[in-house]
Amino acid sequence: MKVSIIGQGYVGLTISIFASSVHDVVGFDTNQTIVDDLNRGVSHIEGVDGALLTQRIAEKHFRATSDPKDVSDSEIVVIAVPTPLSKDRKPDLRFVEAACQTIGRNLTKSALIINESTSFPGTLRNFIKPLIEKYSDHALDHSYAISPERVDPGRQDFNQKNTPRLYAGLTPEASKRTRAFYSSFCDNLVEVSSPEVAEAAKLFENTFRQVNIALVNEFAQITHALGISVHETLEAANTKPYGFMKFTPSAGVGGHCIPVDPTYLATTAEELGIPATFIRHANDVNRSMAKYVVQRIIKDNGGSIKGKKVNIVGVAYKPNVADVRETAAELVIDECRAKGANVTWHDELVKEWNGEKSSSLSGAEISIVITKHDYLTSELIKASAPYVFDSTGRVQGVKGF
Ligand SMILES: NC(=O)c1ccc[n+]([C@@H]2O[C@H](COP(=O)([O-])OP(=O)(O)OC[C@H]3O[C@@H](n4cnc5c(N)ncnc54)[C@H](O)[C@@H]3O)[C@@H](O)[C@H]2O)c1
């Protein structure tokens, strides 16, 4: 089948590589640099191998494009564009709207349109379908389905093939075609009764993590005040063989999902007149962790970090990736600068970020570890500054949670 995948980022490129093992895939992206790199076999996503990309291109099973006309004769179109928050931290569907415009204006035959972008329940039925119909110049009868993405970039044990995939069509026929499409490269498909169930399940998965991370972040503050180790206490609780799941404290949550998706659920709840107390509070706790960490460091350093040379170690939002979206490092840097510190950061995977370059690992008076990539050994980190605060719990013998 000819498949077009709108958006060639973490989700879209990953799915392109799996789908192009059995289908002819066109990867459409508005970013020309990404398109050019992909067509040269250069992957910008961890976990997507350049050699495999080159092989798919050589077999003529994959090509990237920025020309919307290239999606015209697709049988299946997958939407994988960002669904961020706006500046005032509200759901922002403008990329989905732009994708609908591309699809509506350019498809010349009826297709199955599947949304993989995360959004609130009702997005497929009440936003995507009407928009594609609005922009469509042709009297076409498209089918619509949702299959929320669960990819965890950089993860080795679970991938597109072995991670169970939820799906639902707006019609039984759309569900059937969606199953046929994904079962060509995914082992475990789980049909649910409506797109809204699939959309809500995806939001709840990430909200569950956000709330539990906030709970353990609050707990870390309590154990510190009690003078006991949060990590030892969590290990003790984790010996219970049922009814407990261990989460670990951090300087906050990052990435495209955990800090963002719960706000989509909270907004839906509030529109329905239900106060999203847990979700909003969890978000506030996680976002306040940067302040808490900096306060702890100030206390340890004689009450002020004004004028001190502070280096933030690891600014990606999680280990061994270069993704800085919504990283907690940004809030920690802002807080340190607000307190008058002279702040640099070190991350050999990120290299350049916010117009600044990665600095050397050592040479500062204070190192604050936000993300411990594998190349950042405990020995290197400990030797990096006279005072080290580790927010990851992975460096022994220094200050931290
Ligand atoms: N990254 C993850 O781990 C992950 C996991 C599960 C779900 N999701 C969800 O998947 C969706 C995509 O996330 P992502 O991480 O792949 O984003 P991303 O930022 O990595 O990639 C999105 C790509 O879409 C392109 N784009 C933007 N507007 C476009 C348009 N109108 N037409 C074509 N391309 C366009 C961008 O240039 C970019 O390359 C989001 O809804 C996200 O919440 C992400």
What is the pLDDT at residue 331? 97
Q: For residue range 257-295, list pLDDT tens digits in order.
A: 999 999 999 999 999 999 999 999 999 999 999 999 999
What is the pLDDT at residue 390? 98
Element holding 112 (H helix, E strand)? strand 112-115
Apex 318 CA angle, 283 and 91, nearest 5: 40
Task: Report whether pLDDT(206) > 90.
Answer: yes
Task: Report whether pLDDT(212) > 80.
Answer: yes
Mean pLDDT on 60-72: 97
Residue 186 annotated as catalytic: no
In ligand 1, the atom with minimum distance to the C-alpha of 150 is: 6
Pairing verdict, β 352-353 and 356-357:
antiparallel
What is the band of 152 on the pLDDT scale with cuts at 50, 70, 90? confident
What is the band of 349 on the pLDDT scale with cuts at 50, 70, 90? very high
Ligand 1 close to Cβ of residue 84 (< 6 A)? no
Cα(95) to centroid of ligand 1, in Å? 9
Please report, as a single letter, which amino acid is at residue 377.
T
What is the band of 386 on the pLDDT scale with cuts at 50, 70, 90? very high
Mean pLDDT on 34-44: 97
Task: Report whether pLDDT(211) > 80.
Answer: yes
Of 81, 115, 205, 261, the residue with max ligand 1 atoms within 8 A of its CB, to mutate for a pocket test, comes to 81
Cα(118) to centroid of ligand 1, in Å? 9
Phi, psi of 197 (to 5 degrees): -65, -45
Q: Which of 100, 186, 257, 336 is catalytic?
A: 257
Apex 149 CA angle, 276 and 111, nearest 5: 115
Ligand 1 close to Cβ of residue 252 (< 6 A)? no
What is the pLDDT at residue 154? 74
Ligand 1 close to Cβ of residue 149 (< 6 A)? yes
Beta-ladder partners of 387: 366
In ligand 1, the atom with minimum distance to the C-alpha of 98 is: 31
Beta-ladder partners of 77: 4, 113
Please report, as a single letter, which amino acid is at residue 194.
S
What share of residues in the chain are helix, strand, coil (percent, to 5)? 40, 15, 45
**Are residues 62 and 20 in contact, defined by beta-carbon separation less than 8 angstroms?**
yes
Task: Report whether pLDDT(153) > 80.
Answer: no
What is the pLDDT at residue 243? 97
Task: Report whether pLDDT(301) > 80.
Answer: yes
Cα(84) to centroid of ligand 1, in Å? 9
Q: What average pLDDT does the structure give for the chain?
A: 96
In ligand 1, the atom with minimum distance to the C-alpha of 257 is: 43
What is the pLDDT at residue 278? 94
Q: For residue range 87-115, list pLDDT tens digits in order.
A: 998 999 999 999 999 999 999 999 999 99
Q: Whose CA is nearest to atom 41 of ligand 1?
A: 117
Q: Whose CA is nearest to atom 11 of ligand 1?
A: 117
